């Protein structure tokens, strides 16, 4: 390395360094379509839950406690899980109205919610061939 090269390096060291800026990556078209699809599905869920709630008595299926006047999503327990049986997502027969405590019990272990387990077995016989 010669004297000239060293002087050039010193000169370049005095120049301000260009800062790299971070930009948020754009959402791909496929991901954007999935997000829109999920929004539509949630909208349909909300409408479906309102219909089911209006047509049902406002009591927990498992413990019998009174449910609030306004429905909340935690109150609707899918007897046949949405992830395994998406075709029954909007099937009124597949829904049991439950309180938050009983919903947690049913999601954790169906043995903790015997009434819901029995209802699930009956619905399974009806909906699954």
pLDDT digits (tens, 9 = 90+) for 29-81: 899 999 999 999 999 999 999 999 999 999 999 999 999 999 999 999 999 99
In the chain, where the domains are located? 29-127
Residues 93-126: pLDDT tens digits? 999 999 999 999 999 998 999 999 999 999 999 9
Q: Where are the beta strands (DSSP E) in 22-103?
A: 76-78, 95-97
Q: Residue 52's closest CA among 86, 90, 92, 87?
A: 92
């Amino acid at each position: 390395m010669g004297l000239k090269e060293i002087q050039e390096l010193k000169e370049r060291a005095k120049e301000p360094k260009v800062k790299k800026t971070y930009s948020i990556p754009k959402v791909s078209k496929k991901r954007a379509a999935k997000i829109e699809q999920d929004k539509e599905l949630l909208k349909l869920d909300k409408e479906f839950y309102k219909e089911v709630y209006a047509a049902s008595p406002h009591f927990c299926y498992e413990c019998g406690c009174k449910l609030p006047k306004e429905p909340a999503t935690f109150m609707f327990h899918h007897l046949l899980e949405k992830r395994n049986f998406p075709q029954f997502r909007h099937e009124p027969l597949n829904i049991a109205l439950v309180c938050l405590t009983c919903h947690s019990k049913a999601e954790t272990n169906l043995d903790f919610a015997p009434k819901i387990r029995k209802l699930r077995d009956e619905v399974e016989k009806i909906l699954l061939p």
